[in-house]
């Protein structure tokens, strides 16, 4: 089976008049959850850009809409209003199947709870996005092994998640997010389950990843100890971006 074609994002971005230095552009993004008795306004007209090659951190109190925003950016949730464009592609304009395919090749995910399959080895877990893309198994495992080497787990290819520490599991998750070479990686609380030292190691790896090939990283975090790794920090409150800064010191209390 042939390897999946790399995403042809730049030409389309240029055609759409999408600034080439941007990875994500959100304009007036509103999200209202209507499942509850009272509608919940999770996002209230968010305007935000994410640049290529930067690590943007979304911070703020619980329930302020951080996770909803990265879900919209990743094409997992539809905004109720507004537009979220990723590499020139308005995700709302895509059908479900096309959006799933777009996520499969353009976006990498790092979850708070790792979400590794416990019965798969580290290398098999890291290979999952490539297997989803129907890459031949042998090639997928070879690329996954290289990705694990990059995050310092080249010696633990055949370990199962249960045999790895929390930090190692998160590094496997990062390898999985990188393995298909996505241009946008969204991370949800990647250090919340880790001790300080391990959290710093994970953030160093993510910062290294962000500097590669103009890749953009959006990291949701509560962990003030890792703010220093961000190129920019967007503080959210009550569904709005209330402040965007380049240094943690500039953040309002």
Residue 145 CB, nearest approach to other proteins (Å): 16
Output 20 or 39, the one with its CB closest to other proteins: 39
Residue 175 CB, nearest approach to other proteins (Å): 13
Question: Could you list the residues that contact other proteins (CB under 8 A)?
Answer: 67, 70-71, 74, 76-77, 97, 100-105, 107, 109, 111-113, 115, 117-120, 124, 128-129, 131-133, 137, 176, 188-189, 192
Q: Are strands 184-188 and 232-237 parallel, antiparallel or unpaired?
A: unpaired
Output 3 or 14, the one with its CB closest to other proteins: 3
Per the CB < 8 A criterion, the answer to whether 220 and 63 are in contact is no
Residue 59 CB, nearest approach to other proteins (Å): 16
Residue 142 CB, nearest approach to other proteins (Å): 15
Output 80 or 111, the one with its CB closest to other proteins: 111
Q: Are strands 216-220 and 22-33 parallel, antiparallel or unpaired?
A: unpaired
Output 19 or 39, the one with its CB closest to other proteins: 39
């Amino acid at each position: 089976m042939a390897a999946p074609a790399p995403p042809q994002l730049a030409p389309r971005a240029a055609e759409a008049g999408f600034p080439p230095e941007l990875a994500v552009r959100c304009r007036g993004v509103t999200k209202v959850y209507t499942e509850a008795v009272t509608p919940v306004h999770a996002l209230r007209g968010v305007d935000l850009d994410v640049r290529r090659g930067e690590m943007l951190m979304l911070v703020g109190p619980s329930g302020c809409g951080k996770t909803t925003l990265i879900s919209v950016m990743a094409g997992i949730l539809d905004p109720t209003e507004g537009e979220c464009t990723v590499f020139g592609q308005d995700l709302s304009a895509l059908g479900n199947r096309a959006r799933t395919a777009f996520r499969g090749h353009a976006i990498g995910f790092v979850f708070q709870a790792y979400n590794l399959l416990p019965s798969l080895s580290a290398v098999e877990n890291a290979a999952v996005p490539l297997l989803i893309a129907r890459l031949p198994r042998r090639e997928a495992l070879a690329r996954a092994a290289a990705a694990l080497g990059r995050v310092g787990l080249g010696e633990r290819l055949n370990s199962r998640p249960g045999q790895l520490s929390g930090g190692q599991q998160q590094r496997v998750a990062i390898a999985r997010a990188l393995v298909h070479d996505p241009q946008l990686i969204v991370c949800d609380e990647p250090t919340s389950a880790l001790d300080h030292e391990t959290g710093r190691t994970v953030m160093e790896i993510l910062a290294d990843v962000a500097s590669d090939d103009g890749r953009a990283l959006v990291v949701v975090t509560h962990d003030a100890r890792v703010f220093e790794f961000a190129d920019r920090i967007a503080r959210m409150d009550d569904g709005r971006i209330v402040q965007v800064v380049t240094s943690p010191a500039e953040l309002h209390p």
